[in-house]
Amino acid sequence: MIKAKKSLGQNFLIDANILERIVNVIQIKEKNILEIGPGTGALTSCILKKNPKKVIVVEKDKNLAETLEQNFRDEVTVINKDILEIDEHSLINEKFTVFGNLPYNISTEILSKWIINLKDGFWFDHLVLMFQKEVANRIISKFNTSTYGRLSILANWKLKIVKICDIKPVSFSPKPKVDSSLLLFTPKNKIFKIEDPKNLEKVTRVFFSHRRKMLKKPFNQLFNGDQKILDKFKIDLNLRPQNLDFETYYQLTSEYENLRS
Ligand code: SAM
C-alpha cells in the first residue's frame, strides 16, 4: 500500500470512468506522450492501451519512479526528476501530447514555465491537464469577471483553452479537499507578437497589483500618462484592470517594449 505524500500533492486518481474520459480527450495512437506526475501509473496504463508511439513520464518521487520502472519496464521511459527543472525541448525532437494530473501546489508554475519558455515554436501539440477547479476557472476566465487576471492573460496569449469536465474529490485517493477540472490546451495559430514574455508578466503585474483600483496609477507608472496610447486603444482610466480584454494587455505590452527599445 502506497502512503501518499502531501508535500508532493499526491492524490491518486482511482475512478476508472474519469481515467477513460481523460485518455479520450484527444487521439493518443501513434503519438509521443509526456505524462507529468504519473504517481502509481493508473493514467499511464490507460494511455498505453491506446497504442502511443512513445511514452515518457516525469515523476519526482523516487519510490514511485522505481515502482513505475518495474511495472512498465520496456513500455515507458521514467525520468525521476522535478518537472520544473527539465527543459522539455531537449527530451525529444518530435512533438509531445502532454497529460498530467498536476500536483496542485506547482500547477500554475508549470503552466507559466511552459508558456514563458517556448522557444522557436511549440514542443507540444496538446496539453491535457488537471487543476484545482478554482485555478482552472482563473485560467479560462474572460475579462469583466472577478477571476480574470494575470494567469488567464498569459495562458490565452498562446493557447486555446477548453474545459472538458469537473471532477469530484471522490474520484481520488486520498480525497483532496477541493474539486478539480480538466482542461485541454491547444497552440494558437496566430499569436500576438511580444518580444519577451517577461514584459507581459511585468505589465500585468503592475496593472493587477491593485485589482480593485482604477487604471490610472498603474498606467502612469508604466507609460507616464501617455495620452496617445490611451487614445490608440480607447482606454478609460476610470476602469479597473479586469475591464481590459486580452488583446489590450498584449497591445500595451508591445507599446511598453517599444518605449524601452
Ligand atoms: N497522475 C497520478 C494520478 O492521477 O493518479 C498522480 C497525480 S498526483 C496529483 C501528482 C503527482 O505528481 C504525484 O505522483 C507526485 O509525486 C508528482 N509530483 C509532485 N511534484 C512533482 C514535480 N515537481 N515533478 C514531477 N512530479 C511531481
Per-residue pLDDT tens for 213-231? 999 999 999 999 999 999 9
CATH number at residue 212: 1.10.8.100
Q: Is 141 helix (H, G, I), strand (E, B) or coil?
A: coil
Cα 59 to ligand 1 centroid, rounded to whole Å? 6
* Residue among 203, 62, 77, 211 nearest 147 (CA): 211
Same domain, 80 and 132: yes
pLDDT of residue 261: 82
Same domain, 144 and 222: no
In a domain, 216, yes or no: yes
Cα 212 to ligand 1 centroid, rounded to whole Å? 35
- Cα separation, 252 vs 261, in Å, equals 14
* Residues 11/173, Cβ–Cβ less than 8 Å: yes
Length of the chain: 261
Which residue out of 10, 21, 80, 128 has the highest number of ligand 1 atoms within 8 Å of its CB and is therefore the one to mutate?
Answer: 10
Q: Whose CA is nearest to atom 1 of ligand 1?
A: 38
Q: Kindly tell me if the per-residue pLDDT of 119 is higher than 80.
A: no
Same domain, 177 and 203: no
Give the position, in ligand 1's atom list, of the atom nearest the Cα of 10. 8
Same domain, 180 and 106: yes
**What is the percent of the chain where pLDDT is above 90?**
88
What's the distance, CA 255 to chain centroid?
26
Q: Max Cα separation, the chain?
A: 65
- Secondary structure element (H or E) that encloses residue 180, with its range: strand 180-187
Residue with cell 474545459: 163
Same domain, 120 and 237: no
Tell me the three cell numbers of residue 218: 498603474
- Enter the pTM of the model: 0.95
- pLDDT-derived band of residue 121, with 50, 70 and 90 as boundaries? confident
- pLDDT-derived band of residue 167, with 50, 70 and 90 as boundaries? very high
In a domain, 161, yes or no: yes
Whole-angstrom Cα Rg for the chain: 20
Same domain, 108 and 136: yes
Tell me the three cell numbers of residue 58: 516525469
Same domain, 43 and 135: yes
Q: Whose CA is nearest to atom 20 of ligand 1?
A: 8
Of the three residues 187, 218, 243, the one that is the final residue of a domain is 187
φ, ψ of residue 4 in degrees (nearest 5)? -70, 140
Cα 8 to ligand 1 centroid, rounded to whole Å? 6
Ligand 1 contact, 60 CB (< 6 A): yes
Query: How many independent structural domains does the chain possess?
Result: 2
Cα 7 to ligand 1 centroid, rounded to whole Å? 10
In a domain, 1, yes or no: no
In a domain, 72, yes or no: yes
Average confidence score pLDDT of the chain: 95
Same domain, 167 and 234: no
* Residue among 132, 126, 125 nearest 181 (CA): 132
φ, ψ of residue 260 in degrees (nearest 5)? -95, -5
Same domain, 233 and 129: no
pLDDT digits (tens, 9 = 90+) for 4-23: 888 898 999 999 999 999 99
CATH number at residue 110: 3.40.50.150
Same domain, 159 and 221: no
pLDDT of residue 1: 61
What residue numbers bound the domain in which 233 lies?
A: 197-260
pLDDT of residue 184: 98
- Cα separation, 3 vs 10, in Å, equals 9
Q: Is the peptide bond before 174 cis (omega within 30 degrees of 0)?
A: yes
Same domain, 103 and 221: no
pLDDT digits (tens, 9 = 90+) for 189-204: 999 999 999 999 999 9
